[in-house]
Amino acid sequence: MEKRKLRSQAWFGGNDKDGFIHRSWMRNQGFPGDVFDGRPVIGICNTWSELTPCNAHFRELAQRVKNGLWEAGGFPLEFPVTSLGETNIRPTAAMFRNLVSMDVEESIRANPIDAVVLLCGCDKTTPSLVMGAASCDVPTIVLSGGPMLNGHYRGQTIGSGTVVWRFSEAVKAGTMSQQEFMDAESCMSRSAGHCMTMGTASTMACMVESLGLSLPGNAAIPAVDSRRKVLAQETGRRIVAMVHEDLRISKILTREAFQNAIRACAAIGGSTNAVIHLIAFAGRVGVPLTLDDWDKYGRDVHTILDIQPAGRFLMEEFYYAGGLPAVLWKLAQVGQLDEGALTANGKTIGENVKDAPNWDSNVIREYENPLVESGGIAVLRGNLCPDGAVLKPSAASPRLMRHRGRAVVFESIEEYKARIDDPNLAVDETSVLVLKNCGPRGYPGMAEVGNMGLPPKLLARGITDMVRISDARMSGTAYGTVVLHVCPEAALGGPLALVREGDWIELDVEARRLHLDVDEVELARRRTEWIEPEPAFKSGYQSLYVKHVMQADKGADFDFLLGCRGHEVPRESH
């Protein structure tokens, strides 16, 4: 193949003062002179951080990638970007996703980088890195950190997050002691890796694999399995070839790839957070993708992966059963995969997954024997959510999919926490819990608080699910009949802001309808009384975020970050 002059040569290829500057300082790291000879310079974008426990093993993975890169004739340069640890960052990691995407985009463009390997793991680290790379349009390959090993507690397998919601409600219901709850802590997270349920991290790892952004098999290999290290080395080898082939990310992120990912999300019972992230990816590469596409392409797809929170198993069993290629092959066999979509290894996705074996049909079920028939994310419309809302049917209770109940309203998550334990709270199992002001602008950052825990007095009676509605998100590890991402959000004056205690609300998932049973005249009157909440911050990043974040149906990206700005070499620095 003809050797093209790469962008890194604009830094390293000259014999003048600037070339001297760019090379000389780099040589203080002990690089021999011939690494500047025009070979592909590959950035390894690393989200390692001890504050991001899910990505804390990434230093070794980066080294494995480098081994592959050197082998294939590349010049690896690892660089850090802000890491987002879902469990530590407040007010919510999602508020920083767009910020990190800017960090990634500007780091790539400003430096002598021809292509990138993205090391992703914890929830927001995957979308933020993909969004940044997409806006540069350089050859890009994703290596996920892999899930943790299964949690084990007193003879039972327990899954990240999912068990936290379940056990904390058991404590409230009086069926689990505080000591037992504390004992479970170390049993849940017992190896390196990200959440091993089909939470947002595992979902996004499956999304990048089904989009074609990683090598086949990337999503499910456990973090501590030696085959994850092999994959890292192969990923390093492959990105060098991608540079020679000019296989840029825009050639992979096509509309067909997004349709495949939406179907895959339905088949695996993936997180509702994928809706927001994929729409944001599409926005960066100029591919039209709407909320309605999620219903259009996902609705008829069966959920065939029996994994928590929707099902029983965890990522470890998913890997042993065959991983995502086995699921994608089943989709291909029923005509639910566009097999022609190009992937990072230069082959089509159809070629990659052809005849992928399924070793355990308890875990990856036969398509004719699904966990849930209509597994996609349901996109709801109605006077309560004119611009849409989402619900994950595979994690909801069939008996509540059509429901009419009276609203119990919380103006903020703090008000919810203050009132929910009150034995005198006027609530029963037919009530609908409504939470406001937790959307992109309202929280800010659209926190994962939509799966409000149930009132203890109902838990004690054995009630395990209720209809809940908010403009928030929920953790991919969570479950319940939970309506999320209501648009426009309450803080923007959407109809959610006008709901009052005791209003009747109707949910009909089959009809995709969410209705506030209050007449237009009364709603108009309430609107005149609505006062826009004052933003908490008048300066700094939070004020920028609130000013520019778009609504959930638009991917909650910043309005000024839409589109691809390319990778033209910037003007010289000295």
CA dist 118 and 16 (Å) reads: 32
AA identity, residue 167: F
Query: Which window, 74-82, 194-202, 389-397, 434-442, contacts ligand FES (CB under 6 A)?
Result: 194-202
Q: Whose Cβ is closer to ligand FES: residue 53's or residue 455's?
A: 53
Distance from CA of residue 271 to its chain's centroid?
7
Smallest separation (angstroms) from ligand FES to the CB of 303 = 21
Binding footprint of ligand FES, residue count (CB under 6 A): 10
Residue whose pair of structure tokens reads 């009630």 in the numeric block: 463
Helix (H, G, I), strand (E, B) or coil at 56: coil
CA dist 33 and 131 (Å) reads: 34
Smallest separation (angstroms) from ligand FES to the CB of 160 = 6
Q: Whose Cβ is closer to ligand FES: residue 197's or residue 358's?
A: 197
Smallest separation (angstroms) from ligand FES to the CB of 85 = 7
Binding to ligand FES by residue 448, rule CB under 6 A? no
When binding is defined by CB under 6 A, the residue of 69, 72, 86, 389 that contacts ligand FES is: 86
Binding to ligand FES by residue 114, rule CB under 6 A? no
Binding to ligand FES by residue 201, rule CB under 6 A? yes
Binding to ligand FES by residue 194, rule CB under 6 A? yes
Q: Whose Cβ is closer to ligand FES: residue 147's or residue 382's?
A: 147
Query: Which window, 6-14, 191-199, 317-325, 541-549, contacts ligand FES (CB under 6 A)?
Result: 191-199
| Cα end-to-end span (Å), the chain | 35
Helix (H, G, I), strand (E, B) or coil at 104: helix
Binding to ligand FES by residue 65, rule CB under 6 A? no
Binding to ligand FES by residue 264, rule CB under 6 A? no
Smallest separation (angstroms) from ligand FES to the CB of 122 = 3
Binding to ligand FES by residue 452, rule CB under 6 A? no
Tokens of 530: 């609505």
DSSP notation for 439-487: STTTTTS--B--SPPPPHHHHTTT----EEEESSB--TT--SSEEB--S
Binding to ligand FES by residue 295, rule CB under 6 A? no
Q: Report, in this order, helix, strand and coil percent for the chain, each rounded to 5.
A: 40, 15, 45
Query: Which window, 33-41, 192-200, 417-425, 440-448, contacts ligand FES (CB under 6 A)?
Result: 192-200
Binding to ligand FES by residue 160, rule CB under 6 A? yes
Binding to ligand FES by residue 57, rule CB under 6 A? no
Query: Which window, 96-104, 193-201, 236-244, 559-567, contacts ligand FES (CB under 6 A)?
Result: 193-201
Smallest separation (angstroms) from ligand FES to the CB of 34 = 40
Binding to ligand FES by residue 400, rule CB under 6 A? no
Q: Whose Cβ is closer to ligand FES: residue 88's or residue 362's?
A: 88
Binding to ligand FES by residue 209, rule CB under 6 A? no
Closest C-alpha to 102, from 79, 129, 63:
129
When binding is defined by CB under 6 A, the residue of 159, 199, 376, 405 that contacts ligand FES is: 199
Instruction: List C-alpha distances in Å: 80 to 133, 144, 569.
Output: 14, 16, 21
AA identity, residue 534: E
DSSP notation for 143-199: EE--BPPPEEETTEEE-TTHHHHHHHHHHHHTSS-HHHHHHHHHHH--SSSB-SSSS
Query: Which window, 34-42, 135-143, 195-203, 366-374, contacts ligand FES (CB under 6 A)?
Result: 195-203
When binding is defined by CB under 6 A, the residue of 195, 231, 509, 514 that contacts ligand FES is: 195
Closest C-alpha to 239, from 347, 133, 144, 140:
140
Closest C-alpha to 223, from 76, 48, 448:
48
* Count of beta carbons in the 10 Å neighbourhood of residue 180: 14
Binding to ligand FES by residue 122, rule CB under 6 A? yes
Smallest separation (angstroms) from ligand FES to the CB of 537 = 26
For residues 497-526, which are near ligand FES according to CB under 6 A? none
Closest C-alpha to 376, from 310, 311, 301:
301
Q: Summarize as ranges the residues that interact with ligand FES (CB under 6 A).
A: 54, 86-87, 122-123, 160, 194-195, 199, 201
